[in-house]
Amino acid sequence: MELVKQAFESNYIAPLGPMVDAFESEFAAKLGIPYVVALSSGTAAMHLALHCLDIGPGDEVLASTLTFIGSVNPIIYLGAKPVFIDSDLKTWNMDPDLLAEELDDCAARGKLPKAVVPTDLYGQCVDLDRILKVCEPFDVPVVVDSAEALGASYKNRSAGNGARASIYSFNGNKIITTSGGGMLASHDAELINKAKFLSQQAREAVPHYQHTQIGYNYRMSNILAAIGLGQLKVLEERVAAKRRIFAAYKKALGELPGIEFMPESSYGQANRWLTVILINSDQFGADCNAVRLALEENNIEARPVWKPMHMQPVFSECRKRQGSVSEKLFKQGLCLPSGTSMSIKDIEQVVEVVTSCSF
């Protein structure tokens, strides 16, 4: 509130201003990625990242199928076509072996994708080094969707650090929020400068309004950046709270037959943005939808795991590399309430309802 007050007192309300500069600077330092640009959403960040890689009509982009549609829609905005890669059961993220198979087939056909977009699912980082190694012989850039993974780590690096570019979301449901907003980060100064230029309607640096390219109104406002700057200061606390909530759920539900929790990778630490379980109905006595409805009857919101992109009607014509793993996770997966303001009593109430659904 103090930072927002300062933003108002400075009379910088609209896009740009000292809070935007400060938020970008502190965010870059937190990530260990030198160049960032604060934007209106994570989707805008992905759109600009792909735009700056010259993706356009007729191109293909390989993407995680188990993700939120916001990381895939920008491929369509640019006239390109997504190709979906299934998950592995060890991390629920893009399977690097399937990615390698798809790239080999693309090379054999003589049409390589213009980018690979893996998602750090539910706050767990993809095996980025393996993905980079798979892509390197083909010179295909990697843009990581780290919208859900701020505060997570991969081999002691921040989520997304090491990719050609990475995107982050500050939507209202994320681990820190600016109410709406996003960030694009990269070690490539030229890419970020181009994205910054495009995000401000591609206005040329001349006194009059001159445009030689089509741009976008994607820049973050000074007020929202002030909120983000304040939220960034409690990121570690939020991650610790999310992980405590996960641990409490696992302690209470982990021994129940038919209940399995999203695994944590051996190469990093998830931020546990959401606590996600799989329910084997044959062993548990109810499926995940029955449990979700039981929670709803008690005024408790739970949601299914993301419906895989290859199952979405809008992408029915798109190619996929397998899909059975993500389909299983969707069929059996349930995201439990995971807000950092939850009390022990709240968690106990959720556990009581879930437990009541079993045999």
Report the pLDDT averaged over residues 148-159.
98
Architecture of domain 2-232: 3-Layer(aba) Sandwich (3.40)
- The Cα 82–Cα 303 span in angstroms is 25
Report the pLDDT averaged over residues 103-127.
98
Determine the pLDDT at residue 16. 84
pLDDT band per the 50, 70, 90 thresholds, residue 316: very high
pLDDT higher than 90, residue 184: yes
- Per the CB < 8 A criterion, the answer to whether 55 and 113 are in contact is no
Angle at 178 between CA 189 and CA 197, to 5 degrees: 30
What rounded mean pLDDT belongs to the chain?
A: 97
Q: Where are the domains of the chain?
A: 2-232, 235-356
Q: What is the pLDDT of residues 252-303, one digit of tens each?
A: 999 999 999 999 999 999 999 999 999 999 999 999 999 999 999 999 999 9
Helix, strand, coil shares, percent, the chain, to 5: 45, 20, 40
pLDDT band per the 50, 70, 90 thresholds, residue 93: very high
22: which residues sit within 8 A by CB, 6+ positions away? 225, 229
Q: What is the pLDDT of residues 231-242, one digit of tens each?
A: 999 999 999 999
Determine the pLDDT at residue 12. 86
Angle at 40 between CA 31 and CA 165, to 5 degrees: 40
- pTM (two decimals): 0.96
How do 303-304 and 333-336 pair as beta strands?
Answer: antiparallel
Quote the DSSP letter at residue 313.
G
Question: What phi, psi does 322 have (nearest 5°)?
Answer: 60, -150
Query: Which of these, 166, 73, 87, 161, lies nearest to 121 by C-alpha position?
Result: 87
Architecture of domain 235-356: Alpha-Beta Complex (3.90)
Q: 2-232 with 235-356: one CATH topology?
A: no
Determine the pLDDT at residue 15. 75
